[in-house]
Structure formats: C-alpha cells, structure tokens
Amino acid sequence: MTIHLVLGGARSGKSSFAESEVLASDKQYRHYIATATITDDEMQRRIDHHQARRDSDWCLHEIPLEIAAHLGSFSDNDVVLVDCLTLWMSNVIFEHGETASEAAINQRVAKLIKALKCCRADVVLVSNEVGLGVVPMGEVSRLFVDHAGWMNQAIAKVSDRVTFIAAGLPLTMKG
C-alpha cells in the first residue's frame, strides 16, 4: 500500500498527472473517488470534462464527504484516485455551515488520515496547493485556506510520495 499526494494550482495538470499514475499501476482494479458536487452549470462542465478523460475501466464512486468510510472497502488489488481533497474540504466546511468548528474539521481530517494509513489499496490523492496566493478577505474563505493547507501538510506527512505539478510539469517533493 502506498499513498501518493499530488498537489498543484488550478489547471496545473494535477488531475491528468494523477490519472496517468493510476493508469501506470500494475493493480488489477482502478477506482475513482469523485468529491465534486454539481452546484452550477460551470461545475457540471468541469465534471463532464473529467469524465470524458476516463475510459470504462474505471469504477466511479461519487463520495462528496465520506471518503474515510469508503477507503476500508478496497483491497490490495486496487488502486484508488481521490480527486479532489480541496473540494472535499469545501464540502466538509459547508456541511457544518456557519457553525463549522475547527475541532469538527480537524476530526474529519484525522479520520481520513487514519483511513489512509489502514487502506490496503494504493491511493493517489489530488489536492490544490492553496498557500501560494493572497490571504482571502472573507472569514469562511480564510477558514477553508487554513484547513486545506493544514490538511495538505498532514497528508503529505503520511504519504510515501508527494508530487507538485506546475504548468503540467511534475516536481517530486517526497519519495
């Protein structure tokens, strides 16, 4: 079992890179955990774009929140792509609404990390690097950026490999 975190900015090529990593795997079964939810026409177009890139050899799991619970269902014959953790973090925050507490968010991240450590499959996780821009003005936006950054750090710590993608080019950061 290996954990590979793929980080990058918006439209950096991180999803394409992560998909190519999964396709290169010698594992028997490919799984795609999609965390996006359709909130508007533009998000529908993004989802359609991602779906068009995948062939029928992928088993799709649409899981906007309960990734940790699902990771235990995979075996050592599986490779799992989770795309993407920052959308998952957004879903976690919006699940709680304005009452989103740091403790509740941290608990969800800790549960995910525990599930990753126990997962028998190889896992490739895609996440946005949110720490390279300006600090957002709104409280909820700052909450998101802070927790996405802390989540990325925590998952990078337990990952066997970490790759940063910029302009479609991979930079190995760990492993």
* Distance, CA of 39 to CA of 19 (rounded, Å): 24
Q: Let me know how many helices (H) and strands (E) the chain has, helices first.
A: 6, 7
Residue 53's beta-bridge partner residues? none
State the first-to-last Cα distance of the chain, in angstroms, to the nearest integer. 14
Residues annotated as part of the active site: 50
Q: What is the spatial order of strands in the sheet that 161-166 belongs to?
A: 58-62, 29-34, 78-83, 122-128, 3-8, 161-166, 169-174
Q: How far apart are CA 54 and CA 60, in angstroms?
A: 10
Phi and psi torsions of 48, nearest 5°: -60, -40
- The DSSP annotation for 69-125 comes to HHHTT--TTEEEEEE-HHHHHHHHHHHHGGG--HHHHHHHHHHHHHHHHH--SEEEE
